[in-house]
Chain A
């Protein structure tokens, strides 16, 4: 039960974080920028990413090894060998960029600094692109595990 909740919780928070990133981009592109909102959003995005790191990391380190051994013996071994291997390392790019977001938001006058505004939009677009890949890779790994267990149990 705990394993399942943990497994579903981290992509759920990731999706919420992606929506917050969209909100951040829209907030920065607004005519009248609400600087307090930009600061709060950037901070919450960084915080959520740290929470995702802890939740996903705990699940990956404690529970994933059992699934991994089943997946790599199945016809869907690429789900681990390619998608998990890339996902787990691309995540750190996302983590670093999201930790950088509050620094940009708090250390510059976002309402008037066009360069800082563009930097936040750039960061947002990079984060969304990579997070969409990570989410997609997660779905492939999940389906790979499902098929691998069905093969193992003789259901396919």
Chain B
């Protein structure tokens, strides 16, 4: 039974965790800074479309970047923590905005 993950799995796992966290951060930034919101509208015609495209591009870029090196990381735990923090961040920010 193998217990180690392939380097692409680790690299893209770390990338997913960072992108998920960045997603919440970008939401807060665009809601708080109107110029960022306007810039995102000009990118694709709608801030939400740009938001998704930026997330996907970041996920792919960071994924390939982190896959270049052998990194040992518990990806499941990392993704659970990242998702909980990010989702709670979204919920609290929207609730208190």
Verify A95–B56 contact, CB threshold 8 A.
yes
B51 contacts A92, C-beta separation under 8 Å:
yes
- What 1/0 mask marks residues of chain B from 70 to 97 whose CB sits below 8 Å from any chain A CB? 0000011001100100110011001101
Contact-size category for A: 20 to 34
Asked if A3 is an interface residue, CB under 8 A from chain B, the answer is no
Q: Within 8 Å of chain A (Cβ to Cβ): is B38?
A: no
Output the least CB separation between A149 and chain B (Å): 23
The B1-34 residues at the A interface (CB cut-off 8 A) are 1-6, 8-9, 12-13, 16, 19-20, 23-24, 27
A69: CB under 8 A from chain B? no
A contact residues around B48 at 8 Å (CB): 57, 60-61, 88
Given contacts A53-B52, A122-B76, A130-B87, contact A89 B3 (CB under 8 A): no
A107 CA to B49 CA, complexed, in Å: 30
29 contacts between A and B (CB under 8 A): A61-B46, A61-B48, A82-B95, A85-B94, A85-B97, A86-B90, A89-B23, A93-B83, A93-B86, A96-B16, A96-B55, A96-B59, A99-B56, A100-B12, A100-B59, A103-B63, A107-B6, A107-B8, A108-B6, A112-B1, A113-B1, A113-B5, A115-B2, A115-B3, A115-B4, A116-B6, A122-B76, A122-B80, A126-B83
Task: List 19 extra interface pairs beyond A53-B52, A92-B23, A112-B1, CB under 8 A.
Answer: A60-B48, A82-B95, A85-B97, A88-B48, A89-B51, A92-B51, A92-B52, A93-B87, A95-B56, A97-B83, A99-B56, A100-B13, A108-B6, A113-B3, A113-B5, A115-B3, A115-B4, A122-B80, A126-B79
